[in-house]
Copies of this chain bind each other. A is one copy, B any other.
Amino acid sequence: MKIRDAVDSDWPAIWGFLQPIVAAGDTYCWPPDTSEDAARKWWMGKPGGRVLVAVDNGAVVGTAELHPNQPAAGSHVANAGSWCHRPQLAGVSDVPLAQRVLEVAAEDGYAAMQFNAVVETNEHAIRLWESLGFTILATVPEAFRHPDRGLVGLHIMHRFLG
């Protein structure tokens, strides 16, 4: 697997696996019916943002995005998101992409990374990031309306970089 910065022509492939994840509505606070245009702007167009893709055998199978979690006096802490092509996930680990996001954030001068809204039922993501040194700082109670499980908490996760 190769991980590189995304280019505009990667978008259709990204949207191909991102759309079903958004539509499922169980891991992110995006409207399940988010349009392709809105998703593209959200994912590729954040101020100060940087987008990566994971490419396996020529196919884009994952993407990650990082940007300052706060502007100005808070801009040394990164926020990030990452998604992988679920059906392909069986054969492709999402660990290298997550590791690369942390490396890139450190290279770009961020001092830490913070996630604001990790759905507490998203055990795969929580395990992944904990294995890479993140801790759960707090859980905002009942902050996410899960399509199957009702109100569940959102974890705030954090680790220093460098």
Alpha-carbon separation in the docked complex, A158 to B140 (Å): 8
CB-defined interface of A104-147 with B at 8 Å, one 1/0 digit per residue? 00000001101011000000000000000000011111111111
| A25, B73: Cβ atoms closer than 8 Å | yes
Copies, count: 2
Answer yes or no: A154 CB below 8 A from chain B CBs: yes
Tell me the smallest distance from the CB of A155 to a CB of chain B, in Å. Answer: 10
Main secondary structure of the interface of A (DSSP, over half): strand
Number of interface residues, chain A, beta carbon within 8 A: 35
- A-B pairs, 6 with minimum CB distance: A138-B138, A29-B70, A137-B138, A29-B74, A31-B72, A73-B145
* Chain A residues near B (Cβ < 8 Å): 25, 28-32, 69-77, 111-112, 114, 116-117, 137-147, 154, 156, 158, 160
